[in-house]
Chains A and B, each alone.
Chain A
């Protein structure tokens, strides 16, 4: 157990708490939710790099689904597909110049990747019909709105003086 492990565990705990809290929110359409746990992933990405962010994100999907009783249910695989796609996009977004692109860009791109991964898995597995793409504009709108809000919150957290415990 290294200091790295403890740091990842701490961040993952925060992300899990947010995703469990969020599961209690009503949603007009299954799949549309704020994705508050991604704020934590963005903060970890900026402070500690992609590897830690991937750990936090995947631990969040795993433990979050266990906590709300979704483990190995369709929702779990959709969340996993979304998380894997957004981590891939975040890895690519790391190459963008930091002077021009901040956490909001990372957040919006990750949100789009998230719904992209989910809808492709849903098309391939759950609803094998092109009708699922009918929902894409709604999902994309939600991704843009929540991606922007989460990115702003992450940017604001990152602008805070860093506490001892999280350094």
Chain B
């Protein structure tokens, strides 16, 4: 059976069976260890660097595409916006925001619940009001609730 195996694979199986001998760390040369340390550090740094974009720090309220207000996400408060058909109430709590109530007939933006990630957006179309969260990385950084 083993005669039909390719040589490389047979070698591999023989090694797996323990024929290689010698401790594993002998196989590392000085530069290898250095490269592993540097790589591990870079990989560790990549987590906060690439995942930070998801943290939201402000709620952006717009009516007809025009900025109405920006609310910091560190103090709880409520904010009322007069829209096309009535009043939309935005609620902000530390780290998150939601549309508390809206006069729209289908209540999509209310049922969306709390928004927590940067660039997440709740759209109350009948009332022409949108609530969007902004993050540190600018408008296009990190998370996009429509695409992702």
Q: Which residue of chain B lies nearest to A128 when distances are taken between CB atoms in the complex? A: B147
Are A134 and B7 closer than 8 Å at their CB atoms?
no
Are A144 and B32 closer than 8 Å at their CB atoms?
no
Which of the residues B5, B31, B36, B50 comes within 8 Å of A134, measured between beta carbons?
B50
Residues of B within 8 A of A62 (CB): none
B46 contacts chain A at the CB level, 8 A cutoff: yes
The verdict on A14 contacting B39 (CB below 8 Å), with A140-B46, A155-B27, A156-B15 known, is no
Which of the residues B6, B11, B30, B36 comes within 8 Å of A108, measured between beta carbons?
B36
Number of interface residues of B (CB under 8 A): 36
A43 contacts chain B at the CB level, 8 A cutoff: yes
CB distance from A12 to the nearest CB of B (A): 9
Are B36 and A148 closer than 8 Å at their CB atoms?
yes
By DSSP majority rule, is chain B's interface helix, strand, loop, or mixed? helix
The verdict on A99 contacting B29 (CB below 8 Å), with A39-B12, A136-B46, A144-B39 known, is yes
By DSSP majority rule, is chain A's interface helix, strand, loop, or mixed? helix
The verdict on A108 contacting B8 (CB below 8 Å), with A131-B144, A137-B50, A159-B20 known, is no
Q: Which residue of chain B lies nearest to A106 when distances are taken between CB atoms in the complex? A: B32
Are A96 and B31 closer than 8 Å at their CB atoms?
yes
B35 contacts chain A at the CB level, 8 A cutoff: yes
- Report the separation of the CA atoms of residues A130 and B24 in the bound assembly, to the nearest whole angstrom: 39
A46 contacts chain B at the CB level, 8 A cutoff: no
Residues of A within 8 A of B51 (CB): 134, 137
Are B36 and A163 closer than 8 Å at their CB atoms?
no
Q: Which residue of chain B lies nearest to A13 when distances are taken between CB atoms in the complex? A: B6
Which of the residues B6, B22, B29 comes within 8 Å of A101, measured between beta carbons?
B29
CB distance from A97 to the nearest CB of B (A): 8
Are A136 and B20 closer than 8 Å at their CB atoms?
no
- Report the separation of the CA atoms of residues A144 and B40 in the bound assembly, to the nearest whole angstrom: 7
Residues of B within 8 A of A97 (CB): 31
A70 contacts chain B at the CB level, 8 A cutoff: no
Residues of chain B at the chain A interface (Cβ within 8 Å): 5-9, 11-12, 14-15, 19-20, 22, 24, 27-32, 35-36, 39-40, 42-43, 46-47, 50-51, 140-144, 147-148
New A-B pairs, 18, CB < 8 Å, besides A156-B27, A157-B12, A157-B15: A13-B8, A14-B12, A39-B12, A99-B29, A100-B30, A101-B32, A103-B27, A104-B32, A105-B32, A137-B47, A137-B51, A140-B43, A140-B46, A144-B40, A152-B24, A156-B20, A157-B11, A160-B15
